[in-house]
Structure 1
């Protein structure tokens, strides 16, 4: 923890604009730092952001992200900048520290600041953090879902955006692997790693480096390290962490929980971790039906959120009430419509194979719409695990051939429609083809297992295109 006065007159370079760079630069300028912002791109949006920051006294260099400004004493980076960037190499050579925006927020906390309940993982972070915030609110606590979820932590710790200026009791914090890489000092009250699967390896360099950055979330935990009992890699991260004395490892499982776990028994979410006699007792928290949607991976998210809330002392009734009150964001296994006894579900957020596997596991008979930018992924394991559920597949996007080849190897009898187009209008044709393949009782599922940028601005736009295409269908089409 540092005094805001420590930044007065300090020469700080902020690497990148965007969602987190602008708040960091604004905060540092407000503390009296001599701020220079460097940003590789130089577009209309960046110029508007630069004008705002220059009015606050910052210097902004657009189109130059490689050169370390002379006299820099500290670099604060936004999450997207790779560790191998020339700017950071120059900082290392000059002996200049590099912090992320989360590290800056942590250092700027006041002495009575709210503790953090932190969540990371390859998939499910945002949903789990929002569930956790809903549970904490149901317990009467003043909280917010912040961090990688879109609310900059710098703004939160400096008190911006709070309706009445009152302080928070606790924060539900989503942290990405990028943010954790640059946040060596963060110490959460309790934290969870939901799952680990290959992702962002171009940024981290290897799966081992990616996992190590995820594992940073457990460092210094004081009460609980929550891990996924079905994912041994998450438990290994707990074992490797240096935590405060008395901090406990708490597992979550979709099966019957053992001592120091939360899990599911006959449709009931139960706690055998935060009860007086965990060897012989279990506490009912909620029913599976209290979770929307009640897909297996979403039940796992709910259990992780419940474990973190219970670690903070939240009563069982608040877990139930918070889960009942929670509704997931759009494009996350979102039910769009039922037409001709066929369900249409938008999981455009399933941008990697791990997320798509969880989504496919939630339904019995599926016409799968998949494809986009593979980001180096392979699809054999996903297809092998899901083949028995597939009624048919419609492929779109630049890297659809990779999925088609995996289907040919592991599900050769499943009908495949390969749409040789990457324009945004392809989604309408994809939905029509999926509708043709579907039988009563089936689910048409958009779970692309790929990124969207070959065809759409982001996964939100892809999901909206799917919903619009479903809206174009009529009962006659079935």
Structure 2
């Protein structure tokens, strides 16, 4: 499948983490990588490494027979964030040049045995819970003594995982909707769609296209769907897997995994096998249990014994910025769920606490907060809003929770530049003010919860920067900051 690239030029569109991971594999198969990126700094960095570079402008205007244009390329491999209507990609399609994502390329590199025997792929996708489920899956595989690695959207590019020596036998692969859109050939040993809620609608153009991208995780040998989520459950009809099973945070039917009397139970791969105790799952709560069931289904699909599922789930601990307890000040708990980057994730986070001062805001990416605010209104004792779409959330609160005090903390700038250190300082100052304001709205027994329901990139470097900024602000509080009630 990759022989057509030998001796040919391949365009790497996007000089990010995934773009960098493509260079050596392309060279290993005899192709010549050429890098393009919208940023001059990125192109300069690639050029300093001895790589040939081309500006997007050159590629967009070059004719098919122009040596400077797209016609010279046998393939375009795009970073996942590039939209299909990006001018370079659209021009490539017009010229009849195939466009792959880095995950698609990694799949064919693995199938071609460039770096050893073909691996088993266990694919995790969904609007929320992907990283936790991927980490749980990896923990179970480790407990079973299976050489494995967590990769993909979780941080480590799949190609880097494949090139490890000694190499893994199994890949626990987190995939975003972007990555799945650009990877139509991937056929995992098992794949799960945890849930589907409004997110990235601006990129995909609508919920149906977003869900269709997620459904590609169900095109392998075993497909797994979250039955408590109606959209995810409906994707069973789109699945091309040889077998489709489901999981629910409740009593499972035959062919499902679920919960009975505080125990995770497998009724899909055996008549009935106890896998773990609910009390041993981290993070606690229904969302964490659902993720554990999904990880259990993926690993049971490749015959991992129940005892190793139990051991792996007991060993797993939730990562930072995922409903992480930061501290207590004056009887008020502060919780960092900066990873709640959409309304669906924020919903689970808020519903885990009885009384919440909610810190929210950022980029909603086309998602609606109306249903979220209406559902959680009774738990809110205050809201502090930051970021580009703070007014949208404020309007929803005014409609559905008019008695909840709402404070918007503005940056003072129309836009912050993420790569500018001065902008990072301003973002941290906004978060510090938001935390002080939330503390003033809180009373003993309340929880101040950072669950933004939105992406961070309007103000912060990423969600981890946003979470660290929150934690730093909390650690600067004193008891006297609590309950001043603005």
Give the TM-score normalised by structure 2.
Answer: 0.90
Deviations 1:224-269 (A, max 9, x none): 21101112222322222223xxx32221111111111111222211
Q: For residue 9 of structure 1, report the CA deviation from its aligned partner.
A: 0.3
Contact 2:161 2:168 survives alignment (8 Å): no
Q: For residue 381 of structure 1, report the CA deviation from its aligned partner.
A: 0.6
Residue 450 of structure 2: aligned partner: 446
Matched, 1:121 2:126: yes
Query: Closer, same or farther in 2 for the Cα pair 1:419/1:259, shift >3 Å?
Result: same
C-alpha separation in 1, matches of 2:388 and 2:161? 40
C-alpha separation in 1, matches of 2:28 and 2:200? 34
Matched, 1:262 2:257: yes
C-alpha separation in 2, matches of 1:89 and 1:476? 58
Residue 66 of structure 1: aligned partner: 60
Contact 2:161 2:167 survives alignment (8 Å): no
Matched, 1:51 2:48: yes
Query: Closer, same or farther in 2 for the Cα pair 1:119/1:340, shift >3 Å?
Result: same
SS at match of 1:73: strand
C-alpha separation in 1, matches of 2:367 and 2:231? 19
Residue 240 of structure 1: aligned partner: 238
Contact 1:66 1:85 survives alignment (8 Å): no
SS at match of 1:378: coil
Residue 435 of structure 1: aligned partner: 439
Give the TM-score normalised by structure 1.
Answer: 0.91
C-alpha separation in 1, matches of 2:81 and 2:353? 34
Query: Closer, same or farther in 2 for the Cα pair 1:441/1:267, shift >3 Å?
Result: farther
Q: For residue 196 of structure 1, report the CA deviation from its aligned partner.
A: 0.7
Contact 2:223 2:239 survives alignment (8 Å): no
C-alpha separation in 1, matches of 2:189 and 2:441? 50
Query: Once superposed, which parts of structure 1, at least 4 consecutive aligned residues long, lie more than 4 Å away?
Result: none
Residue 363 of structure 1: aligned partner: 353
Matched, 1:108 2:112: no
Q: For residue 143 of structure 1, report the CA deviation from its aligned partner.
A: 0.2
C-alpha separation in 2, matches of 1:418 and 1:86? 37
Matched, 1:463 2:467: yes
C-alpha separation in 1, matches of 2:466 and 2:346? 15
Matched, 1:296 2:298: no
Q: For residue 30 of structure 1, report the CA deviation from its aligned partner.
A: 3.2
C-alpha separation in 2, matches of 1:76 and 1:454? 27
Q: For residue 135 of structure 1, report the CA deviation from its aligned partner.
A: 0.7
Deviations 1:73-131 (A, max 9, x none): 11111111111122223222222211111111111114531110101111111111111
Contact 1:114 1:167 survives alignment (8 Å): no
Deviations 1:272-294 (A, max 9, x none): 1111x3xxxx3211111211220
Residue 168 of structure 1: aligned partner: 168
Query: Closer, same or farther in 2 for the Cα pair 1:404/1:89, shift >3 Å?
Result: closer
Residue 24 of structure 2: aligned partner: 26
> Which residues of 2 match residues 296-375 of structure 1 at below 5 A?
296-375=286-365
Aligned length: 456
Contact 1:114 1:171 survives alignment (8 Å): yes
SS at match of 2:322: coil
C-alpha separation in 2, matches of 1:443 and 1:66? 51
Matched, 1:400 2:390: yes
